[in-house]
Structure 1
Amino acid sequence: MDTNGIEQMLSVLRSTAAQATGKPAAGTAPVAGATDFAQVLQNSIDKVNQTQQSANQMAEKLAAGDTSQNLHEVMIALQTASVSFQEMVQVRNKLVTAYQDVMNIQV
């Protein structure tokens, strides 16, 4: 799983939190050619969605009796989709927590 997008999201959150408190963030200099936060988030969601759809298609083919689908490959694909979804939920939870922390900062 590509963690570069997650690291970029965390960097943006740290930078935003530092700006809100008026303190310079350590190591949060703007990166030339950095991707948009919303685009990174959308790409991550799209990858998770694609993984889930692929796993579901494999499972449907196996259930329909397609002999080209191996049970162990289908189970691995389903587990990969499940883990990637759980990871996305955890990232979402961290983003919500960070947003709430920023919103609770007294100016």
Structure 2
Amino acid sequence: MLQVNPFVSALQQMRTLVSEAAGPSALAPDQPNPAANGSIDFATLLQQSLAKISASQAASRGEMQAFQLGASNVSLNDAVVDGAKAGIKFQESLQIRNKLVSAYTDIMQTPL
């Protein structure tokens, strides 16, 4: 019977998640795929995340405006749910920013 090392399995799952998160659909056409050469740039991931949050908020605003204008293909439920999703994504990004600032402050206050 073949036994799989749990660390190897966890590493493979993390690599799969990273490649999905940094997939070609998340990149602008002129940007190289950072997962292609095995390295992932933090600034690129941050920029992509912020772009996704901004797009989510813009889509939510557009859907809410379409509902307010009486578009027949937009329901109130869909508009409210998409608005809530965009709000949650924004709050999540704020929490991540707060954790990064806290970590940076802790590192800067550490005596050498």
Q: Please list every run of 5 or more consecutive structure 2 residues that lacks an aligned counterpart in the other structure.
A: 1-16, 19-36
Q: Report the 3-state secondary structure (helix = DSSP H, G, I; strand = E; otherwise coil) of the residue aligned with 2:83.
A: helix
1:50 deviation in Å?
Answer: 0.5
Tell me the residue number matched to 1:77.
82
1:34 deviation in Å?
Answer: 2.6
Q: Please list every run of 5 or more consecutive structure 1 residues that lacks an aligned counterpart in the other structure.
A: 5-31
Tell me the residue number matched to 1:51.
56
Give runs of ≥4 in structure 1 deviating > 2 Å.
none
1:37 deviation in Å?
Answer: 0.7
* Backbone CA RMSD of aligned residues: 1.4
1:65 deviation in Å?
Answer: 1.0
Tell me the residue number matched to 2:65.
60
Tell me if 1:91 matches 2:102.
no
Q: Report the 3-state secondary structure (helix = DSSP H, G, I; strand = E; otherwise coil) of the residue aligned with 1:78.
A: helix
- Please give the TM-score of this superposition, normalised by the length of structure 1: 0.69
- Please give the TM-score of this superposition, normalised by the length of structure 2: 0.66
Provide the identity percentage.
Answer: 32
| Bigger relative contact order (CA 8 A; separation at least 6) | 1
1:38 deviation in Å?
Answer: 0.8
Tell me the residue number matched to 1:22.
none
Tell me the residue number matched to 2:24.
none
2:42 aligned to which of 23, 37, 54: 37
Deviations 1:71-101 (A, max 9, x none): 1111110000000000000000000001101
Tell me the residue number matched to 2:29.
none
State the alpha-carbon separation in 2 of the partners of residues 77 and 49 from structure 1: 13
